[in-house]
Amino acid sequence: MTPQAALDAQIEKYRAMTGEERLKLALDLHELSCDIARAGIRHQHPNASADDVERLLRERIALAQSL
């Protein structure tokens, strides 16, 4: 399968989804990206508490939204 064919097939799958399914997918992807960001924060700040990690994550999200 070519990359374009794969992209076309994926777009068709998205179009076949209900609104609830698309929303769930978006929320799952958001949570995955937050988990990856948390892991990065823990790597950069190994002594950070769970509360500190969440605070830093919120700061990163706010910074990204301001750009």
What total number of domains does the chain contain?
Answer: 1
Side chain identity at residue 65, one-letter code:
Q
User: Distance (Å, rounded) from C-alpha 21 to C-alpha 35?
Assistant: 21
Query: Where in the sequence is the domain holding 37, given as residue range(s)?
Result: 3-66
What is residue 7's predicted lDDT score, i.e. its pLDDT? 96
| Length of the chain in terms of residues written | 67
What is residue 63's predicted lDDT score, i.e. its pLDDT? 95
Inter-helix orientation angle 19-44/50-66, to 10°: 120
**C-alpha distance from residue 59 to each of 3, 30, 48 (Å):** 36, 16, 14
Cβ atoms of 38 and 48 within 8 Å: the answer is no
- Give residue-wise pLDDT tens across range 22-63: 999 999 999 999 999 999 999 999 999 999 999 999 999 999
